[in-house]
Structure 1
Amino acid sequence: MTALPARTLVEGRAEGLLMLWSVPLSFWGGYDSGTGRVIDHSHPAFGVEVAGRILAMPSGRGSSSASSVLAEAIRRGTAPAGIILAQADPIITVGAIVAARLYCRACPVVVCGAEVMGRLVDGTLLRLIAGTDTATLNLSAAV
C-alpha cells in the first residue's frame, strides 16, 4: 500500500475505485444528480457513472450553481464517494460543506497538487482519509 499526502478541504472518509480524469467537470449541466452520471456531451467521461467512486481531476469547472448540484447528489447518494483535486476549488468545496451541514452526509474533498496527482492510477482501490488539516490517500494494488 502506498500513502500519499493531501490537504483537507472537506473532512471525511471514503473508499472506492479511483476515477482519474485530466479534464475538469462542471457539476452544473455536466452531472445528473439523479443518476450519478456525467451528462456533459463534450466531456470525455460522458455517460460514465461516477456515484460511489473516488473522483480525481485537476479542478472544478463552471458555474457557482455547481455547488448545489453536488450537494443534491450527495444528499441522494449519487455523488462521488470523495473528490481529489490538483487545485483547490471553492465551488466543489462549498457543495460538499453544505451537504455535510444540511444532510449530515460526507463527501471528503482534498487537494494534492500536480505531483501527487501524477502518481495516481485510474482504477486503483483508494482509501481517502481527510482529517482536520491533512489527508492521506492510501492506494492499494490496481484492481
Structure 2
Amino acid sequence: MKVYGDDPVEVKCRVISRGRGRGPLLVSDEPLSFLGGVDPSTGEVIDRKHPLHGRSMRGKVILIPGGKGSTVGSYVIYQMARNGTAPAAIICLNAEPIIATGAIMAGIPMVDRPSEDLLGVMEDSMEVEVDAEEGKIRF
C-alpha cells in the first residue's frame, strides 16, 4: 500500500454518471450483480457468496471491479435510489452497461478507469468523495 501522509489524494477517472457523492468507502475486489445480489429495499448485499454479504451500500461510496448479471440489475439500482437505499456514489475499475445504465437512470454519481490501482490503495470505511463532474476521486 502506498503511504500518502496527511495530504489529500486526487485520482483522475472517467465520468459515467454526473454528480458528486461522498461517504465511507465499501470495497470489494469481486464484481457485483445487483439483480439477486442486492436487496433494493434495504441496500444490503444478499448474495451469500459475495465478500460484501450482509453489508449495506446505503449512503456509501462503493468500489468494485465492475458488475455482472442480468440487465434488470439497472432497474434494481434505480429502485434503490427511489427507496433511499442507494450508494452515494459508485467507482468501478471498468464499468459495464448494466451498472452504468442503472447509475445514470438513478442519478448516482459514477466513475471508472481510475488513473491508479485503487484496490491496492483504498480501504473500507475511509471517507471518499467522487466528483463525477470533474472526473476526480478524492480521499
Residue 46 of structure 1 is matched in structure 2 by: 53
Residue 5 of structure 2 is matched in structure 1 by: none
> CA–CA distance in 1 between the matches of 2:114 and 2:13?
8
> CA–CA distance in 2 between the matches of 1:85 and 1:114?
12
Structure 1 spans left out of the alignment, 5+ residues:
100-105
Instruction: Please state which structure has a larger fraction of its residues in strand.
Output: 1
SS in 2 for 1:16: strand
By how many angstroms is 1:72 displaced?
Answer: 0.4
SS in 1 for 2:104: helix
Residue 111 of structure 1 is matched in structure 2 by: 112
**How large is the Cα RMSD of the aligned pairs?**
1.3
- Note if 1:21 corresponds to 2:28: yes
- Note if 1:3 corresponds to 2:4: no
Residue 125 of structure 1 is matched in structure 2 by: 127
SS in 1 for 2:102: helix
Alignment-mate amino acid for residue 57 of structure 1: I
> CA–CA distance in 1 between the matches of 2:28 and 2:80?
19
By how many angstroms is 1:89 displaced?
Answer: 1.4
Deviates more, 1:111-120 or 1:44-53: 111-120
> CA–CA distance in 2 between the matches of 1:69 and 1:86?
21
Paired residues of 2:22 and 2:88 also in contact (CA < 8 A): yes
Paired residues of 1:86 and 1:114 also in contact (CA < 8 A): no
SS in 1 for 2:78: helix
Identity, % of aligned positions: 37
The 1:116–1:135 alpha-carbon spacing in structure 2 relative to 1, beyond 3 Å, is farther
> CA–CA distance in 1 between the matches of 2:30 and 2:115?
13
The 1:63–1:114 alpha-carbon spacing in structure 2 relative to 1, beyond 3 Å, is farther
> CA–CA distance in 1 between the matches of 2:37 and 2:9?
32
- TM-superposition CA deviations, 1:14-38 (whole Å, max 9, x none): 0100111101110000000101100
Q: How many residues align?
A: 131
Residue 71 of structure 1 is matched in structure 2 by: 78
TM-score between both structures, scaled by the size of structure 2: 0.88
Paired residues of 1:126 and 1:138 also in contact (CA < 8 A): yes
